[in-house]
Amino acid sequence: MMTGLDFELDSTGQLDEVLGLAEHLRDALWRVDSSGARPVDATGGVIVAGMGGSASGARLAQGAIGPRLTRPLVVSDGYALPGWAGPSTLVLLSSYSGNTEETLAAYDDAAARDAPRIVASTGGALVERARRDNVPVIPIPGGFQPRAAIGYSLVAALEAAALGGAAPSLRDEIEAAADLAEALAAEWGPEGDESSEAKAIARSLHGTVPVIAGAEVGAAAAYRWKCQFNENAQLPAFASALPELNHNEVVGWESARDLGRFSYVSLEDPTAHERNRLRAELTAEIAGAGADPVVRVEARGASRVERLVSLVLLGDLVSIYAAVLRGADPVDIPAIDSLKASMRAR
């Protein structure tokens, strides 16, 4: 076990769900098939409407597909769809609870525009609408925190992109990614070596504000890391994408030490554009002026989906370990709960 860490603080067993990513990926493929969703010639592209953890899969799917995308794949994280949405646009409505008010509004907007729809959810009002309108439902299993269902939301988004003609089917890559995740979970999990990458990174980042960055696949994973630090470890954390950050954010590192203790995590794909690989190296050097530590992480795997999944699993475990190091329960999200209650009351 990880010395000095009390996993009893993880009151809902989120660590187990993180370690179950391989099973989730495989199960998700079966659940897409069980939905009865059929291919749609969505010449206008594919929109994934969702919030928070329910939208995370689509953001990751964008990175996993990368240059293989042949039509737009857009995340819509609000009450209304983009103005161009219509009958030629496939809309995946993703809400773990099925009661997310923004996603319900987006469903109604898609229906009003006569856009073909698919729903991914555990139930709630969203599934009620879908059943009423004969819209296919990808049944997501209950009992998770929404962010812990990332394998399901990722596969749903990848499959929706394929069904809408926006990308090729990546099922073989998903299956291979599940095999890789299984092996990495054993290597990085709590029963793994105390010097494993996940535990070492968590310890090194303890007491810092993490800034996570990457290019291409790494950029997609960086946002996931940021969100997991926010929700699991209850910490401020920030994510940026290369090469854009080289045109603004990179300037700030020189003065960072005067403001607080920051860390910099560079998520790197060995197959990324050679100029982005160079930028990652140079940016890490510059960040060292104000960040302590600077951590460089290399994705593993043969395909884009595998490399993305390796970074997602690593970040999820690091965030859980970071929570336990802080004595925080990864289930607690009091600020989100309070905000939702205030919204319901008005």
pLDDT at 249: 96
Same domain flag for 211 and 165: no
- The mean pLDDT of 244-258, rounded to a whole number, is 96
Res. 79: pLDDT tops 90: yes
Same domain flag for 207 and 249: yes
Same domain flag for 265 and 145: no
Has 226 been annotated as catalytic? no
**Residue 174 tokens, joined:** 């998903």
Residue 344 domain-assigned (yes or no) = no
CA distance 201 to 196: 9
The model's pLDDT over 81-114, given as tens digits with 9 standing for 90+, comes to 999 999 999 999 999 999 999 999 999 999 999 9
pLDDT band at 333 (very low <50, low <70, confident <90, very high): low
The model's pLDDT over 175-186, given as tens digits with 9 standing for 90+, comes to 999 999 999 999
Last residue of a domain, which of 125, 154, 169? Answer: 169
Residue 5 domain-assigned (yes or no) = no
Same domain flag for 213 and 310: yes
Find the helix or strand (DSSP H, E) in which 240 lies.
strand 238-242
Res. 337: pLDDT tops 90: no
Domain of residue 312, residue span: 192-326
SS3 193: coil
Residue 346 domain-assigned (yes or no) = no
Same domain flag for 150 and 209: no
**Residue 196 tokens, joined:** 């494993």
For residues 62, 143, 339 and 95, what is the CA-based torsion angle, rounded to 10 degrees? 40
Contact 48, 106 (CB under 8 A): no
Contact 12, 333 (CB under 8 A): no
Residue 178 domain-assigned (yes or no) = no
Name the residue type at position 196. Answer: S
CA distance 319 to 328: 11
Long-range pairs for 225-230 at CB < 8 Å and ≥24 separation? 225/265, 225/267, 225/311, 225/315, 225/318, 225/319, 227/52, 227/53, 227/56, 227/147, 228/147, 228/315, 228/316, 228/318, 228/319, 229/319, 229/322
Q: What is the number of structural domains in the chain?
A: 2
Same domain flag for 98 and 40: yes
Same domain flag for 136 and 235: no
Report which DSSP code applies to 169. -
pLDDT band at 10 (very low <50, low <70, confident <90, very high): low
Same domain flag for 301 and 204: yes
Alpha-helical segments (H) within the chain: 14-19, 21-34, 53-65, 101-112, 124-132, 150-163, 171-188, 197-205, 217-231, 274-287, 304-326, 334-344
- Looking up residue 127, the CATH number of its domain turns out to be 3.40.50.10490
Listed range (31-35, 117-121, 132-136, 327-331) with the worst mean pLDDT: 327-331
Same domain flag for 211 and 321: yes
Contact 47, 116 (CB under 8 A): no
Same domain flag for 137 and 229: no
Average pLDDT score over the chain: 94
Main-chain phi, psi angles of 142, to 5 degrees: -85, 175
pLDDT at 8: 53
pLDDT band at 330 (very low <50, low <70, confident <90, very high): confident
pLDDT at 9: 52
Last residue of a domain, which of 100, 135, 169? Answer: 169
pLDDT at 329: 82
Same domain flag for 111 and 204: no
Find the helix or strand (DSSP H, E) in which 47 lies.
strand 45-50
Has 206 been annotated as catalytic? no
Residue 27 domain-assigned (yes or no) = no
The model's pLDDT over 139-153, given as tens digits with 9 standing for 90+, comes to 999 988 888 999 999
Res. 340: pLDDT tops 90: no
Residue 82 domain-assigned (yes or no) = yes
Has 247 been annotated as catalytic? yes
Residue 211 domain-assigned (yes or no) = yes
pLDDT at 53: 87
Active-site residue among 173, 197, 216, 231? 231
- The mean pLDDT of 239-243, rounded to a whole number, is 98
pLDDT at 12: 59
Contact 119, 138 (CB under 8 A): yes
Contact 316, 17 (CB under 8 A): no
Residue 248 domain-assigned (yes or no) = yes
Contact 178, 26 (CB under 8 A): yes
